[in-house]
Amino acid sequence: MTTLVFGHKSPDTDSTGSPIVWAWYLDHMGVKAEARLLGTPNTEALFVAKRWGYDLPPVISDVEDGQKVVIVDTNNPAELPANINNADIQAIIDHHKLVGGLETKGPIEITIRPLACTATLMYQMMGGHAGHAPDAIKGLMLSCILSDTLEFRSPTTTSVDRQIAERLAADLGVDIPSYAAEMFEAKSDVSAFSDAELLRMDSKEYSVGGKELRVSVLETTAPKIVLDRKESLMRSMTDVAKEDGADQVLLFVVDILREEATLLVPNELVKSIAEKSFGAKVDGDSVVLPGIMSRKKQIIPALKI
C-alpha cells in the first residue's frame, strides 16, 4: 500500500513542500509513498512548486480506514481529515505544540521539535541522505524554511533553521535575499481571493477566555493591497465566524519587510483584545503592532480577552 504524506488543511509552503520532500525520502528508503494536499495551497506554495518543477499533489478530502499515512507540519486533529484516527498513522513529523486528540493504534515514530519549519526537522532526520537529495527536493526544503522563518525575520527562527537553509542555498547556488523576495511577492499577490478566502487562508482556531477565536494571519510584502480592502474584510468577518462556529475572526496583516503586524479592529471585542493582549492604544479600525510577526510565538501566547 502506498503511504500518503500530508500536512494540514490550509496548505502554505511548508505544508505543501514538506509532504513532497518526505514522500521522496520514504521512496528513496524503499517505502512507496506519495504526497497529498488537504486543501488549495496559497499563492506562495503554488509559486514554489512551479519554481522547482513539481505538479501540485492531488487534493484529498478524507482518508480511508486503515490507509497508511504520515502526518507532517501538524498534530492537530482539527486540521486533519475527519477519519484520521481510523487511518494507520505511521509517523508524525511536526514543529507545533502538542494539542492532544490524535491517537495511534500502536507505538509509532513521532518527532516534534521546537524548530521554525518542518523541512528543517526533515533535513535533520534524513542524516546523510539529505545531501544526496535531488536539487528540486533541496529547493523545496529551502523554500519551506524561508517561508516559515520569513527569511529569518520571524522570532521562531532557530540557528538550526538558518544554518540548514544557508547550506541548501549554497548547494543550489541560490541567492537567498532575491529568491525570498520572489517568494514573498508571490504570497502578496492575493488579488484573486475573496474576502472570506483571505480570512481563512492561514487561519487557526483557539479558545481564549471562553471565546472561540479564528486567528488569521496574512504575511505580505505589500500590506497596502490587503489594507485597501479593510472595510469589506471586516464586514466579511461576521459571516466567516458564524459559518466556522467561531465568535470572532482576528486578522493580522504581517508586513514582512517592516516586521510589524496590522490588526483590523471591527468592534469593541477586538479593540479590547488588542489593548489587553498587546498593550496597544487603539484609535480607529486598525492598529499597528510593531515587531509582531509570529502567531505561534507572539500572538497566541499573548491573547487575552
Give whichever of 58 and 114 is closer to its own copies, judged by the CB atom.
114
Task: State the DSSP string of 54-117.
Answer: PPPPPB-S---TT-EEEEES---GGGS-TTGGGSEEEEEEE-S--------SS--EEEE-S-S-
Number of residues that bind its own copies (CB under 8 A): 27
CB closer to its own copies out of 108 and 170: 108
Decide whether 110 or 172 has the Cβ nearer to its own copies.
110
Q: Out of 64, 103, 182, 231, point to the residue binding its own copies (CB under 8 A).
A: 103
CA distance 100 to 83: 16
Query: x/- contact string, 104-123, with its own copies (CB under 8 A)?
Result: xxxxxxxxxxxx--------
- DSSP state, residue 38: S
Establish if 162 lies at the interface with its own copies (CB under 8 A): no
State CA 303 to chain mean position distance.
19
Residue with cell 491517537: 103
**What are the grid coordinates assigned to 216, written together?**
488569521
Per-position x/- string for 269-298, each x denoting binding to its own copies as judged by CB under 8 A, each - no binding: ---------------------------xx-
Nearer to its own copies, 105 or 242 (CB): 105
* Interaction of residue 80 with its own copies, rule CB under 8 A: no
- Cα separation, 161 vs 84, whole angstroms: 29
Q: Which among 20-28, 102-110, 233-241, 275-283 is the span making contact with its own copies, rule CB under 8 A?
A: 102-110
Furthest C-alpha separation in the chain:
59
The reply to whether 96 sits near its own copies by the rule CB under 8 A is: yes
Residues of the shown chain interacting with its own copies in the complex, contacts defined by CB under 8 A: 89, 92, 94-115, 296-297, 301
